[in-house]
Amino acid sequence: DTAVSQTPKYLVTQMGNDKSIKCEQNLGHDTMYWYKQDSKKFLKIMFSYNNKELIINETVPNRFSPKSPDKAHLNLHINSLELGDSAVYFCASSQEGQNTEAFFGQGTRLTVV
């Protein structure tokens, strides 16, 4: 079973559209994350979320919003897509306070045209 799964794997959409990327983890972790990897392969945290708080990287535009219907899911909604949003988005999960690794999904390659 895949520990952290994201859908879709590829997403091509036009500027101005609204889209969502889904993420699910079956590890029972209490914290989930979204990371963005740009065209230069630079990886940056966008959000981290557990049942206590949402931590937002201040550089993330408010067009991006995470939605967590339950502990196992953290979906990423993006409104009014722009060309610069094209990137690979990685979901991850971990258990706060434990000496465990963060598990990453396989990534969603978003292309805005």
Partner 1 sequence: GEDVEQSLFLSVREGDSSVINCTYTDSSSTYLYWYKQEPGAGLQLLTYIFSNMDMKQDQRLTVLLNKKDKHLSLRIADTQTGDSAIYFCAESEQAGTALIFGKGTTLSVSS
Binding site for partner 1 (CB under 8 A): 29, 31, 33, 35, 40-45, 48, 55, 90, 92, 94-102, 104-107
Give the shortest CB-41-to-partner 1 separation in angstroms. 5
**Enclosing H/E stretch for 89:** strand 87-94
Query: What is the phi-psi region of residue 3: left when phi exceeds 0, alpha when psi lies from -120 to 50, beta otherwise?
Result: alpha
Structure tokens at 101: 């690794």
Q: Please identify, using beta-carbon distances, which residue of 48 and 75 lies nearer to partner 1.
A: 48
User: To the nearest whole angstrom, how small is the minimum distance from the Cβ of residue 35 to partner 1?
Assistant: 8
Rounded-to-integer distance, Cα 23 and Cα 76, Å: 8
Minimum CB distance to partner 1 smaller for 64 or for 105: 105
Q: Tell me the closest approach of the beta carbon of residue 74 to partner 1, in angstroms.
A: 13
Q: What amino acid is encoded at 97 in this protein?
A: G
